[in-house]
């Protein structure tokens, strides 16, 4: 079944399986995830669903108007769209009692509904989890690209973590684009694919392994299989 939701990175720990194997897991809290809008190709040229997540105190007026139109009273902090172009055969747009919604398999969800993880996911599903990695600031090549550094003998005390030569002399006489050098590290969108779900609760899911980002960071979870 095609699944999608927003959540925040909550707990990272380990658990023992029935076979006695110890595996790491991450609990992704998905409570307060709502469907805000459904974008159709006839309107914007692509097919997607817009979700909102995370309670907050202050929201901008355009966001407030969008939530009011969807019938959602909870002020939501994060809004994200999930493209559904590749799974149009699994997801259909429906309308009942003047409310627009989606039919995914045998599950019906409508604009304004809270999205429970048990509706679209089940234990054993493989999901892709995307988040923003932790920012590390400006780092050298040893930490950023795992360079070995220079020699540690023969008086080379100042070359231990140096990058070495970055170019040539005459031809072509420049530094190639994409050259691995020191620079800002982290703070990038990272996607981990095919993480199995090991448990589903009313307010979130447990996935095997670790996911990117800091604690309480926003995560996008999807399963297009």
Q: Tell me, what CATH number does 216's domain have? A: 2.40.30.10
Q: pLDDT tens track of the chain, all 225 residues?
A: 688 999 999 999 999 988 899 999 999 999 889 999 999 888 889 999 999 998 888 889 999 999 999 999 889 999 999 998 888 888 889 988 888 999 988 889 999 999 999 989 999 899 999 999 999 999 999 999 999 988 888 888 888 899 998 988 888 889 999 999 999 999 999 999 999 999 999 899 999 999 999 999 999 999 866
- Nearest residue to 28 via CA among 182, 216, 157: 216
Range of the domain at 39: 32-115
Considering only CA atoms, give the Rg of the chain: 23
Indicate the pairing of strand 189-201 with strand 22-29. unpaired
- Nearest residue to 3 via CA among 33, 27, 32, 23: 33
Residues 121 and 202 in one domain: yes
Q: pTM of this prediction? A: 0.86
Asked if the structure places residue 161 within a domain, the reply is: no
Q: Which two structure tokens, joined as six digits, stand for 11?
A: 């707990």
> Which of 93, 115, 137 is the last residue before a domain boundary?
115
Asked if the structure places residue 172 within a domain, the reply is: no
Residues 138 and 200 in one domain: yes
Residues 209 and 124 in one domain: yes
Residues 88 and 140 in one domain: no
Residues 63 and 25 in one domain: no
User: H/E element holding 168?
Assistant: none
Question: E strands along 58-217, which residues?
Answer: 76-83, 91-96, 99-104, 107-110, 126-132, 137-139, 183-185, 189-201, 204-208
């Amino acid at each position: 079944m095609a699944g999608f939701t927003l959540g925040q990175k909550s707990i990272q720990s380990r658990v023992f399986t029935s076979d006695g194997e110890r595996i790491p897991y991450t609990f992704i809290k998905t409570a307060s995830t709502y469907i805000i809008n459904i974008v159709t190709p006839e309107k914007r040229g692509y097919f997607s669903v817009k979700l909102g997540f995370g309670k907050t105190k202050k929201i901008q007026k355009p966001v407030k108007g969008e939530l009011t139109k969807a019938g959602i009273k909870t002020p939501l902090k994060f809004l994200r769209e999930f493209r559904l172009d590749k799974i149009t055969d699994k997801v259909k747009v429906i309308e009942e009692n003047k409310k627009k919604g989606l039919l995914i398999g045998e599950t019906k969800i409508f604009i304004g509904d809270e999205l429970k993880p048990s509706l679209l996911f089940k234990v054993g599903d493989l999901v892709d989890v995307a988040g923003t990695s932790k920012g590390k600031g400006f780092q050298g090549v040893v930490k950023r690209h795992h360079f070995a550094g220079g020699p540690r003998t023969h008086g080379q005390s100042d070359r231990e973590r140096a990058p070495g030569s970055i170019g040539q002399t005459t031809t072509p006489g420049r530094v190639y684009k994409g050259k691995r050098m020191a620079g800002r590290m982290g703070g990038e969108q990272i996607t981990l694919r095919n993480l199995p779900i090991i448990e589903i609760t009313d307010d979130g899911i447990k996935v095997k392994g670790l996911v990117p980002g800091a604690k309480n960071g926003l995560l996008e979870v999807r399963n297009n299989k």
